[in-house]
Amino acid sequence: MTPRDVMLAVLGIAAALLVISFWRAHRDALAQFNAFDLVMENGRVSKIALAFMVAFAVTTWVIVYLALRDKLTEGYLTSYGIMWVAPLVTKVVFNKTDMPGSTTSTTIVQQQTEVTKP
């Protein structure tokens, strides 16, 4: 068994455990986790969120594939980091609560009561 085969086995087991844990958390009625929240906004599937998750999965798979084939270069890894890791680190460091593209609305209700004396 080559080191590449071992890495593939570890990767497969890790992916299976991740999928199983997500599925169990999603199915547990007491858990505050819903896997569909990763691709939903306001109760509907978000095209942008779904595209984001698919793009993330594909680029991650490409990085793992290149690493297993010994073709991963610093340029590929740096590009991956800039695309996916840098925005997350920026959000944590600067504690920014709203992401680009999100909107916040505030509604102010003013009530006026007139009292007349008889």
* Whether the predicted pLDDT of 95 surpasses 90: no
What digits encode the pLDDT tens for the residues 8-50? 888 889 889 988 988 888 788 887 877 777 778 888 888 888 8
pLDDT, position 15: 85
What digits encode the pLDDT tens for the residues 71-90? 999 999 999 989 888 888 88
The domains of the chain are located at 34-94
Whether the model clears a pTM of 0.85, i.e. scores above it, the answer is no
Q: Reduced to 3 states, what is the DSSP secondary structure of residue 105?
A: coil
CB 57 within 8 A of CB 51: no
* Whether the predicted pLDDT of 99 surpasses 60: no
Burial letters for 23-35: b for 16+ Cβ neighbours within 10 Å, e otherwise?
eeeeeeeeeeeee
Gap between the Cα atoms of 104 and 98, Å rounded:
8
- Cα separations (Å) of 66 from 10, 54, 61, 75, 78? 16, 18, 9, 12, 13
